[in-house]
Structure 1
Amino acid sequence: MEQGQLWRQYIIAGVANIAITATGFALGWTSPVNLKLLDPDDTPLPRPVTNDEISWIGSLISAGAMFGPFIGGFLASTMGRRWGILLSSVPLIVGFILMIAVQNVEMIYAGRFVWGLAVGMLFTVTPMYCAEIATDDTRGALGSFLLLFVVSGFLLVYAVGPFISYFALQYVGVAIVAIFCVLFFFMPETPMYYLNKDDVDSAAKSLQFIRGKSRAGVEAELDKMAAEVRGASQKTAYLSDVFRGANFKAFYISCALVAAQQLSGINAVLFYMATIFETAGAILDSAIATIIIGAMQVGASAVTPLVVDRLGRRMLLLISCTGTTIGLGLLGMYFILDTNGSPIVDSMRFLPILALTLFIISYCLGLGPLPWVVIGELFPIDVKALASPIATAFCWLLSFLVTRYFYLVADIVGMGVVFLIFGVCCIVAFFFTFFVVPETKGKSFQEIQDMLAGKVSPSKTETI
């Protein structure tokens, strides 16, 4: 039996996810830049921004990301997964051009919204691409690359943002996009897309490139893929199909997982991390503390691809929900004590860093990467381009609401109460995962569909 070269799919998925690094850079951009925009001596604008404008700057990327999935889904189904990812570079570059040419806060709004289009496109098409180039036993690892590369973008902007000028920071972002475009241009389209277009020869060549095998070496896998595509292509998929039978089960599981991801408060924490440290009066300088948290994000996210296909999706999600709940509980407790003027707070200045570290590490192990892995796995190919954008848009709608109203709600009830609310959402996510989410580790796309349709009875360890 021809062995092939397993490393090839890791390299291809890694190159595809360089664009995801650019989105992480854009998402984390507010953490160092907000402080510059508030400083009369450092802002590129004629005046410092207001707190309300800061909220809009933070949230508008999520507003754009609500529309991006539908653009990405359309491109993925008509032009291919590869071009769907490549064309995301257009809104990324346009966003950076607007930031460089900035004359007023409205240009920053526009740039953030356009970046959001790219975020929505990439978070829809990249998991699809990685799932379709992966073998059954590496699909979880390749799907987990998304968060690893997102947080790498966060770390980069956290590390350089506080120490270089506003304009120099934008050129760093442009460089990431340029590197991505050059490298990904030479990557292949997915075999599944070609098979869906009845182009068997192109599918074979693509699979040969990805697996590092001869035509004879990929023939069995190609036949299996072709059978899955034929089964999915027997009818035209309509939007109503998303809400029927096994597809609806896949859809509500996907939506529930992205809801858990966003209602953990992750984007509020990441967008306003430096401000949170400033507010908490933490023992470390906010810029240094943010870099430390960013580095921990990368370290924790690097663990998931190594263990997700061994421990399974459910186990990591349960661990993640537990850790985020504890971290948010500690953070909420600290802010409540601080707000009430408790004398014990002076001896607990380390707690925000400890709590955020636990929260971030736990999030990166499960709630961060695995909803995207699951979305890439649960839907059959005929409805994937319809269902994935809806689930992704729902994710970013929640992200917009959380980031836009985080400070408003915190002003009303206190930042501590807000973090406790996020913690309750993580508890709910734990029980949803425990009782509803199926285990997809090591299963083929067809086996997953059979399991969702009730044709296969999962074992107790796979779904409860």
Structure 2
Amino acid sequence: MADRSYVYEPVSIEAPVKTQAHSMEQGQLWRQYIIAGVANIGIMATGFALGWTSPVNLKLLHPDDTPLSRPVTNDEISWIGSLISIGAMFGPFIGGFLASKVGRRWGILLSSVPLIVGFILMIAVQNVGMIYAGRVFWGLAVGILYTVSPMYCAEIATDDKRGALGSFLQLFVVFGLLLVYGVGPFVSYFALQYVGIAVVAVFCVLFFFMPETPMYYLNKDDIDSAAKSLQFIRGKSRAGVQAELDKMAAEVTTANEKTANLSDVFRGANFKAFYIVCILVAVQQFSGINVVLFYMATIFEAAGASLDSAIATIIIGAVQVGASAITPLVVDRLGRRMLLLISCTGTTVGLGLLGVYFILDTNGSPVVDNMRFLPILALVLFIVTYCVGLGPLPWAIMGELLPIEVKALASPIATAFCWMVSFLVTRYFNPIADAVGMGVAFLIFGVCCIIAFFFTFFVVPETKGKSFQEIQEMLAGKPGARGLWVLTICKVLGADRGPKEF
């Protein structure tokens, strides 16, 4: 049954007449930004949940403001921080199921259920086990939204704006982080939970009136609802969206001719898309972003900064928001690969500087006293360049590369893999840092960013401005300009042949 929770302009059931005026119809393309923004308010709520430990850990260590009868231990703090990743490993499979069975829109809306359950558990908390459970429920919501939201944004976007809408995920995550960083230290434990519930409530109310994606309706052979959805998103008449609708229908028809099952994810061009996405989300976590943010206070202390830790955290949150706001403005001009290469370079330099500083400091080098500014400089460089590329673009690329017929199967696996890596990095960083030193640990993360640079340069295809069909043709091996360019370089270097162009 077609979704009727929002109002469309009346559409004639007669076949539209394609006139020159209709083909040049401008519409209201800003609508896709509004719709994607509302969809990502749910992502903002997950950012709130991810950053929740920053202000709350201090409250739990001194539980006068919480219902706990005793302070939590350091080991419990570690589990509280990492259990959200456990929930996020399972959430993608729920999200993939919901996206294919009830639609992208309802999949996103239903993510509010585990979010609300998590906040209720935090309010009713009587022991640490309830906090653990709340973090797992939040993780389920994170996994659902990180799977379905990129899918939704990719499917409502025009080809030339898909990168911008895909990068909204990172922007709204850091909005959520900044909110919890800015409010958490200055309100009670209980008041903070109510702020989180308010964010979820706003998300539910606003997104309820947003449309389902045309692609989902076309997959269900509901062409009329797909047309109405596309009209609502583009702000055009039926005749004005007919050409785009026909193109979408052709892509869906081609995809539906292939009966997709799990084994299809690991075949041919599907597998190319899948392993590219998996490696990108893995290097995102192996960049050490969560560890760097966790040790922010240590980095400020090493620099001799006199700022209060709460104020310092708010400043870093604001830097994240500012940097993340750059990507939607430039990603469809510079392209995904260029921003990823810039990001990998900047994060490598930032981690290298942090690593060298901590090694010198550990060894008692006298030059450290003249380099107290270096940790903050390195921290800002790392965060800015991470938020420009490695933060948002793996999710945007996931929504673009994975073919329609396997997207609901492959996206959950890739997202679950991301959060498994996140859990391993956050849970076991301390033992590794104790064994080799924090400076060496940061250098290891830097090496991972170097690997990400070369992987992006030689393997990741550029999807800027390309339709889903054109992207699949690239993955299938049809050469493009970059392939000819790389082949020329290889010939100059004396190689017989270059790497195959995706």
Q: TM-score higher than 0.5 here?
A: yes
Contact 1:20 1:150 in 2 (8 A): yes
Kindly indicate whether residue 353 of structure 2 is the aligned counterpart of residue 330 of structure 1: yes
Deviation at 1:271, TM superposition (A): 4.2
- Cα offsets for 1:380-426 (capped at 9, x unmatched): 11100001111110000000111111222222222222111111100
Deviation at 1:348, TM superposition (A): 3.4
Aligned counterpart for 1:179 among listed residues 202, 215, 239: 202
Deviation at 1:44, TM superposition (A): 4.4
Deviation at 1:137, TM superposition (A): 0.2
Kindly indicate whether residue 87 of structure 2 is the aligned counterpart of residue 64 of structure 1: yes
Aligned counterpart for 1:48 among listed residues 71, 77, 86: 71
Equivalence for 2:343: 320
Aligned counterpart for 2:181 among listed residues 158, 161, 172: 158
Equivalence for 1:236: 259
- The 3-state SS of whatever aligns with 1:366 is helix
Letter in 1 for 2:454: F
Q: How many aligned positions are there?
A: 464
- Cα offsets for 1:321-347 (capped at 9, x unmatched): 000011111112222233233344344
Closer/same/farther in 2, CA of residues 288 and 347 from structure 1, 3 Å limit: farther
Structure 1 Cα separation of the partners of residues 64 and 370 of structure 2: 34
Q: Which moved more, 1:238-247 or 1:453-462?
A: 453-462
Kindly indicate whether residue 294 of structure 2 is the aligned counterpart of residue 294 of structure 1: no
Q: What aligned pairs does 1:374-453 form with structure 2 within 5 A after superposition?
A: 374-453=397-476
Equivalence for 1:36: 59
Contact 1:205 1:215 in 2 (8 A): yes
Closer/same/farther in 2, CA of residues 353 and 45 from structure 1, 3 Å limit: farther
Contact 1:289 1:353 in 2 (8 A): no
Gaps of 5+ in 2: 1-23, 487-500
Q: What aligned pairs does 1:206-221 form with structure 2 within 5 A after superposition?
A: 206-221=229-244
Q: What aligned pairs does 1:72-151 form with structure 2 within 5 A after superposition?
A: 72-151=95-174
Deviation at 1:270, TM superposition (A): 2.9
Structure 2 Cα separation of the partners of residues 176 and 297 of structure 1: 20
Kindly indicate whether residue 42 of structure 2 is the aligned counterpart of residue 24 of structure 1: no
Kindly indicate whether residue 287 of structure 2 is the aligned counterpart of residue 264 of structure 1: yes
Contact 1:30 1:271 in 2 (8 A): no
Contact 2:55 2:180 in 1 (8 A): yes
Letter in 1 for 2:480: S
Deviation at 1:276, TM superposition (A): 5.1
- Cα offsets for 1:119-166 (capped at 9, x unmatched): 000000000000000000000000000000001111111111111121
Contact 1:20 1:146 in 2 (8 A): yes
CA root-mean-square deviation? 1.6
- Cα offsets for 1:89-124 (capped at 9, x unmatched): 000011111111111111111111110000000000
Q: Which moved more, 1:347-356 or 1:322-331?
A: 347-356
Closer/same/farther in 2, CA of residues 72 and 167 from structure 1, 3 Å limit: same
Letter in 1 for 2:141: A
Percent identity between matched residues is: 85
Contact 2:219 2:252 in 1 (8 A): yes
Deviation at 1:317, TM superposition (A): 0.2
Structure 1 Cα separation of the partners of residues 295 and 57 of structure 2: 8
Kindly indicate whether residue 329 of structure 2 is the aligned counterpart of residue 306 of structure 1: yes
Kindly indicate whether residue 315 of structure 2 is the aligned counterpart of residue 285 of structure 1: no
Deviation at 1:41, TM superposition (A): 4.5
Kindly indicate whether residue 36 of structure 2 is the aligned counterpart of residue 13 of structure 1: yes
| Max Rg structure | 2
Q: Which moved more, 1:265-274 or 1:215-224?
A: 265-274
Q: Which moved more, 1:298-307 or 1:104-113?
A: 104-113
Structure 2 Cα separation of the partners of residues 82 and 256 of structure 1: 28
Letter in 1 for 2:320: Q
Structure 1 Cα separation of the partners of residues 193 and 186 of structure 2: 13
Equivalence for 2:477: 454
Letter in 2 for 1:400: F
- The 3-state SS of whatever aligns with 1:316 is helix
Letter in 2 for 1:16: A
Q: Which moved more, 1:261-270 or 1:382-391?
A: 261-270
Gaps of 5+ in 1: none
Letter in 2 for 1:55: S
- Cα offsets for 1:326-377 (capped at 9, x unmatched): 1111112222233233344344333322211111100011000000011000
Q: Which moved more, 1:166-175 or 1:113-122?
A: 166-175
- Cα offsets for 1:172-205 (capped at 9, x unmatched): 1111000000000000000000000000000000
Q: TM-score, normalised by structure 2?
A: 0.89
